[in-house]
Structure formats: C-alpha cells, structure tokens
C-alpha cells in the first residue's frame, strides 16, 4: 500500500500559494464564502492560508477547510523509494559496518567479504532485529 501510494502522489508538489489559497481561488470562492461554509471568520481563513505557508496549519484545519471547499484532505508520508529497497539498503549498510568492525571478516578476500556482507544483509532482513533502525 505504501509503495502504491508513493507512486501515486510522488510527483505532487505544494502550490506556491499553498493548497488552501490555490484550491479556493481555483473554485472561484472568496475567503468569506469559505469562512461561512466552515463557520469561522474570513480572517480565520486568511490566517489558515498564512499558517499553511509557514508549515503551522493543523491537520484538522486542513481537513475542515477541504470539506468547506467540497474536497477532502489527503495526508501522507512518501518514502524516497520502494519500502523494500530502503530496508535492503539499510541492511547492507549495517552489514558493511559489522564487517568493518570484525577483523576476521576484514581479512577475507574482497569477493568473500562481499558475499558475507550480502548474506548478513539478507539475515538482518529475515530476522529484522529490534535494533535494525538504531543508529550505528
């Protein structure tokens, strides 16, 4: 589900004036009209528009304003790539760090060391220890 959602919204960027103002203007609604539908003052709508641009608008406000403009608010965290790829890259880094700290592994020929790292990464992904995401 995460990968599918990320693919769908991955290219979405915030409009220069923010979502509230951009959608309101696209619909041809005044701040007062949105305010009446939401049950707040016109200044509250303008304040929400400013807050959104500053990153200080609440999710609840966004949801209510979207509803007042006949829309729905969508909130998502979009990973930088497929979830399994992110986990695999992290497992590889952890395995590489483990290899560097083990004299027995560092003394192996490069191809055997690489095999050990790949096997260790696979093991980490399979076992997924509680410490998987802890900093090295």
Residue 15, pLDDT > 80, answer yes
63-74 confidence digits (pLDDT tens): 999 999 999 999
Phi and psi for 6 in degrees, rounded to 5?
-60, -40
Measured CA to CA, the distance from residue 100 to residue 117 in angstroms comes to: 10
Sign of CA dihedral 87, 89, 92, 97: negative
Measured CA to CA, the distance from residue 68 to residue 46 in angstroms comes to: 14
pLDDT the model gives residue 123: 98
CA 116 to chain centroid, in Å, comes to: 32
Phi and psi for 109 in degrees, rounded to 5?
-60, 155
pTM of whole model > 0.95? no
Out of 20-24, 30-34, 64-68, 73-77, which region has the weakest mean confidence (pLDDT)?
Answer: 73-77
Residue 95 has which token pair? Answer: 């395995």
Helix and strand totals (H; E) in the chain: 8, 0
39-67 confidence digits (pLDDT tens): 999 999 999 999 999 999 999 999 999 99
């Amino acid at each position: 589900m995460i990968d599918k959602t990320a693919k769908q919204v991955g290219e979405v960027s915030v409009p220069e004036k923010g979502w509230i103002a951009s959608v309101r203007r696209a619909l041809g609604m005044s701040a007062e009209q949105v305010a009446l539908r939401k049950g707040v003052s016109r200044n509250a709508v303008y304040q929400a528009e400013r807050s959104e641009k500053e990153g200080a608008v609440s999710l609840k406000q966004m949801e209510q304003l979207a509803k007042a403009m006949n829309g729905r608010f969508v909130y998502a965290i979009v990973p930088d790539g497929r979830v399994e790829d992110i986990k695999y890259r992290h497992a590889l880094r952890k395995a590489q760090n483990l290899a560097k700290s083990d004299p027995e592994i560092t003394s192996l020929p490069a191809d055997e060391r690489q095999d050990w790292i790949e096997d260790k990464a696979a093991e980490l992904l399979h076992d997924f220890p509680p410490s998987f995401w802890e900093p090295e």
